[in-house]
């Protein structure tokens, strides 16, 4: 049973507008959340993360919001650019001793239209 | 920069063949992982290793085995390939050292395996 869920398989957005990607989780032991970006024929690359003690983390055009009570996080990309077209995976890490493992969502494919 | 390399980008094998997928990382990471990526299912962990000669099963280990004889190298073995093992295989590594960040994993480019 997937503990990290990305319920939107795809998202299409106009260049310059905001992209909002959502992720829900079920395991209350998750204490760190990460977003990865993946281009075709390449491995995923780390994008941004957030600790469970925070509710927001910002890095340039990327902001991740965490709502622990709702077990929900979102990734905002503002403004969206054509190079942002990729698959985005949400991932979560649990407390030790299993903290070396990440649980991944199914991914959301983002297409940025010119 | 962390570099994770995988021996092949594309591989075509026949049903019943033994298949070896090799992964090498150059950052002295303790942990190494093998995932498979399938549409609609995301990344699923097959096996991981936290030290030389140490391994643990992930979520979908059936039909796979692994080998880690050296710290930098982690091999995934399909003893008898089947068509349902056609997939993208991704290797990753991470460090145990807390100073290196939130345990993010660094991925190789992937091997697209087709079993016919």
Chain A contact present for B16, CB below 8 A: no
Q: How many angstroms separate the CA atoms of A102 and A94, rounded?
A: 8
Digit-coded pLDDT (tens) for A85-100: 999 999 998 877 667 7
pLDDT for A2? 82
Chain B contact present for A100, CB below 8 A: yes
Residue of B nearest to A10 (CA): B40
Residues of chain B with C-beta less than 8 angstroms from the C-beta of A43: 4, 90, 92, 107-110
* Cis previous bond, A113, omega within 30: no
Q: Tell me the pairing of strands B4-6 and A62-67.
A: unpaired
Mapping DSSP to helix (H, G, I), strand (E, B) and coil, where does residue B85 land?
helix
pLDDT for B97? 62
Digit-coded pLDDT (tens) for A40-70: 888 999 999 999 999 999 999 999 999 999 9
pLDDT band at B96 (very low <50, low <70, confident <90, very high): confident
Mutate to test the interface with A, among B25, B37, B48, B92 (most CBs of A within 10 A): B37
pLDDT band at B99 (very low <50, low <70, confident <90, very high): very low
Q: In angstroms, what separates the C-alpha of B51 from chain A's closest C-alpha?
A: 12
- What mean pLDDT is predicted for residues B100-106? 70
Express as a percent the part of chain A with pLDDT over 90.
Answer: 84
Q: How many angstroms separate the CA atoms of A114 and A112, rounded?
A: 7
Q: Find the distance separating the first CA and the last CA of chain A, reported in whole Å.
A: 38
- What mean pLDDT is predicted for residues B67-89? 97
pLDDT for B73? 97
């Amino acid at each position: 049973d997937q503990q990290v869920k990305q319920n939107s398989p795809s998202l299409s957005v106009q260049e310059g507008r905001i992209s909002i990607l959502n992720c829900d989780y079920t395991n209350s032991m998750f204490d760190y959340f990460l977003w990865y970006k993946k281009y075709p024929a390449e491995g995923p690359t780390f994008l941004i993360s957030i600790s469970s003690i925070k509710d927001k983390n910002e890095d340039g055009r990327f902001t991740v919001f965490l709502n622990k009570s709702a077990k929900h996080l979102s990734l905002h990309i503002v403004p969206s650019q054509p190079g942002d077209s990729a698959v985005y995976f949400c991932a979560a890490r649990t407390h030790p001793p299993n903290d070396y493992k990440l649980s991944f969502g199914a991914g959301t494919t983002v297409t940025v239209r010119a | 920069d962390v570099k994770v390399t995988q021996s092949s980008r594309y591989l075509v094998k026949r049903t019943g063949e033994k298949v070896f997928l090799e992964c090498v990382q150059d950052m002295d990471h303790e942990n190494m992982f093998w995932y498979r990526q399938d549409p609609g299912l995301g990344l699923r962990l097959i096996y991981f290793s936290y030290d030389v000669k140490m391994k643990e099963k992930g979520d979908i280990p059936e039909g796979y085995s692994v080998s880690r004889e050296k710290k930098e190298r982690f091999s995934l073995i399909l003893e008898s390939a089947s068509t349902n093992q056609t997939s993208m295989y991704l290797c990753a590594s991470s460090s145990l050292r807390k100073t290196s960040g939130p345990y993010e994993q660094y991925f190789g480019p992937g091997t697209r395996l087709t079993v016919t």
